Amino acid sequence: MAQARIGLIGLGVMGANLALNIAENEFPVAVFNRTGSVTDDYIASAGDLARNLVPTKTLEELVGALTKPRAIIIMVQAGAAVDAVIKGLTPLLDKGDMIIDAGNANFHDTRRREAALSDLGLNFIGMGVSGGEEGARNGPSIMVGGDKSSFEVIRDILEAISAKHDGAPCADHFGPDGAGHFVKTVHNGIEYADMQMIAEVYGLLRDGEGRSAANIGQLFETWDKGPLKSYLVEISGKVLQTVDEKSGQPIVDIIVDKAGQKGTGRWTAIEALSLGQSPSTIEAAVAARSWSAVKDTRIAGEALFAGLKVETGAAPISEDDLEKALLAAKIIAYDQGLNLLSAASVEYDWDLDLASCAEVWREGCIIRSTMLDEMASAVREGLPHGNLIFAPRFAQRIVEGSSALRRVVASAALQGLPVPAFAAALAYFDTMRQGRGTTDLVQGQRDFFGAHGFVRVDTGETDQHGPWASDIAHS
């Protein structure tokens, strides 16, 4: 007999907590996990919330436990696992039922799945969920893509379980097919850039000034009370001040410096490039994780270049400069992320509301910060030339922050300390404030070797060609 309003497959870190959140909001939820013993343990530890949880041991049982039209959340690893679950579910469902992929997914997969399920008369929602374990349990940020009418069917549940900003739910519908998963992907791209920039500050203080992890952690704790207040600065402060129980060392000192990546940062960079965009701060953060992975090579490089002299007399970087540089670079990362969303919206005809993106990121998600509220307002007011860094309320901060960013990047370069995301942010800013750049020469080179043509500054005539000096010399 149908007992539950919604189903959930995958009781891992995210699914288990999301189901508890749904149950706590008084929506009965039927749960299923591939490994059945996980479901038994889960129900046994759910306490009072077990009253709103319906455990099931087969997909047939799960489907039978749901009121119609059925709505089933899948919360498993991206890729083949999602396809396997969909394959098992579809023969059991009726036309009008809905599958919701709430994991991180490549939005191209979401578009493919939506089209295939639509042919079968089934609805498919691609839903990005951010906030990690704690967010899933107490209120994540939720980014929905797919048919709007399908979203309306589950809207009450999603709004109830989501984080709230001044009472407004951090859950919204962004457009058809892959729009929600794309917004989540770019969220993660910005997350990569933000994390990398914080790590660069850590590196400058650790390797440039010999400061201890705890001392740097305290600085982040202080910054978390000012304009940089954000979840990532807060947890960085906590991570750096945590002591490993086994060794008595700061825990970061015993963590191998090889960063994992499950794919969302890379998807952001790949998609950006195919859209003719370049969110260089995000690309730099993805690169930094990839470079971190080749630890043996870096160790060999350290030995090989051990004798290399770097500037030791570089001016010390002040804490004030670091704070301002981080703030400016972070604004630039958001500017680039929003530009990418805008380009994808045009390409895929999503009509994305960028202000809504910033609004659902204000609470619950990993990149939440006090600055996002102001960013959302700036986007609502309209961004000059589509750029956040041109918005009056951010342009001034960028002007002030850019001098600090310049000093930080210059000092890092002189000291031989890598700051790829900071450097990328600065180069982007300097490019965006240069009305005449240097690609006149690139255009000249292209025409020289490939007759690709150029546009004249003086007359505006297009498809112009040399003659070039060598042509002249040989003519």
Ligand X SMILES: NC(=O)C1=CN([C@@H]2O[C@H](COP(=O)(O)OP(=O)(O)OC[C@H]3O[C@@H](n4cnc5c(N)ncnc54)[C@H](OP(=O)(O)O)[C@@H]3O)[C@@H](O)[C@H]2O)C=CC1
Catalytic site positions = 184, 191
Q: Strand pairing partners for 123? A: 98
Query: Which burial class, exposed, middle or buried, applies to 92 when counting CB atoms under 10 A from its CB (0-12, 13-18, 19+)?
Result: middle
The count of C-alpha atoms lying within 13 angstroms of the C-alpha of 403, restricted to the half-sphere facing its C-beta, is 6
Binding site for ligand X (CB under 6 A): 10-15, 33-35, 38, 75-78, 81, 84-85, 103-104, 129-130, 132, 262
- Would you say 4 or 143 has its CB closer to ligand X? 143
Query: What percent of the chain is helix, strand and coil (3-state, nearest 5)?
Result: 60, 10, 30
Which is nearer to ligand 5RP, 190 or 419 (by Cβ)?
190
Count of positions on this chain that bind ligand 5RP (CB under 6 A): 11
Place of tokens 């952690």: 217
Question: Which one of residues 188, 196, 402, 415 is an interface residue with ligand 5RP (CB under 6 A)?
Answer: 188
CA distance 11 to 42: 8
Contact partner, 191, from ligand 5RP, ligand X, none, Cβ < 5-8 Å per class: ligand 5RP
Summarize the annotated binding site for NADP(+) as residue ranges.
10-15, 33-35, 76-78, 104
CB of 259 to ligand 5RP, least distance (A): 7
In one-letter notation, the amino acid at residue 302 is E
C-alpha 118/C-alpha 292 separation (Å) is: 42
Residues 192-251 that bind ligand 5RP (CB under 6 A): none
Residue 366 binds to ligand 5RP (criterion: CB under 6 A) = yes
Stretch that binds ligand 5RP, among 262-270, 380-388, 421-429, 461-469 (CB under 6 A): 262-270
Asked if 162 interacts with ligand 5RP (CB under 6 A), we say no
Contacts of 276 (CB under 8 A, 6+ apart): 343
53 strand-pairing partners:
29
Q: Does an H or E element contain 470, and which?
A: helix 469-474
Which CA distances in Å does 252 have to 95, 212, 229, 244, 302? 52, 10, 22, 8, 20
Rounded Cα gap, residues 167 and 100, in angstroms: 25
- Residue 280 touches ligand 5RP, criterion: CB under 6 A: no
The partner in contact with residue 78, picked from ligand 5RP, ligand X, none with C-beta cut-offs of 5 to 8 angstroms by kind, is ligand X
Work out whether strand 53-55 and strand 29-32 pair parallel, antiparallel, or are unpaired: parallel
Question: Taking the CA atoms of the chain, what radius of gyration do you get in angstroms?
Answer: 25
Give the interface segment with ligand 5RP, choosing from 145-153, 205-213, 259-267, 383-391 (CB under 6 A). Answer: 259-267
CA–CA distances in Å: residue 342 to residues 138, 184, 186, 349, 386: 30, 14, 11, 10, 8
Nearer to ligand 5RP, 59 or 372 (CB): 372
The C-alpha atoms of residue 215 and residue 387 are separated, in whole angstroms, by 36
The piece of 119-127, 237-245, 257-265, 356-364 that touches ligand 5RP (CB under 6 A) is 257-265
Q: Which residues sit in the known binding site?
A: 10-15, 33-35, 76-78, 104, 130-132, 187-188, 192, 262, 289, 446, 452
The item of ligand 5RP, ligand X, none sharing an interface with residue 33, based on CB under 5 to 8 Å by kind, is ligand X
The reply to whether 264 sits near ligand 5RP by the rule CB under 6 A is yes
Residue nearest to ligand 5RP (CB): 262
By beta-carbon proximity to ligand 5RP, the closer residue of 136 and 424 is 136
Is 261 a binding residue for ligand 5RP by CB under 6 A? The answer is yes
User: Among 36-44, 261-269, 340-348, 467-475, which window interacts with ligand 5RP (CB under 6 A)?
Assistant: 261-269
Pairwise CA distance, residues 171 & 140, whole Å: 8
Structural element, H or E, at residue 380: helix 370-381
Asked if residues 339 and 282 have their Cβ atoms less than 8 Å apart, the reply is no
Range 123-152, binding ligand 5RP (CB under 6 A) = 130, 132
Instruction: Work out whether 369 is an interface residue with ligand 5RP (CB under 6 A).
Output: no
Distance CA 362, CA 156 (A): 20
Cβ distance to ligand 5RP smaller for residue 92 or 270? 270
Compare residues 101 and 321 and give the one whose CB is closer to ligand X: 101
Question: Cβ(90)–Cβ(14) under 8 Å?
Answer: no
Smaller CB separation from ligand 5RP, 239 or 395: 239
Q: Binding site for substrate, residues?
A: 104, 130-132, 187-188, 192, 262, 289, 446, 452
What are the residues binding ligand 5RP (CB under 6 A)?
104, 130, 132, 188, 191, 260-262, 264-265, 366
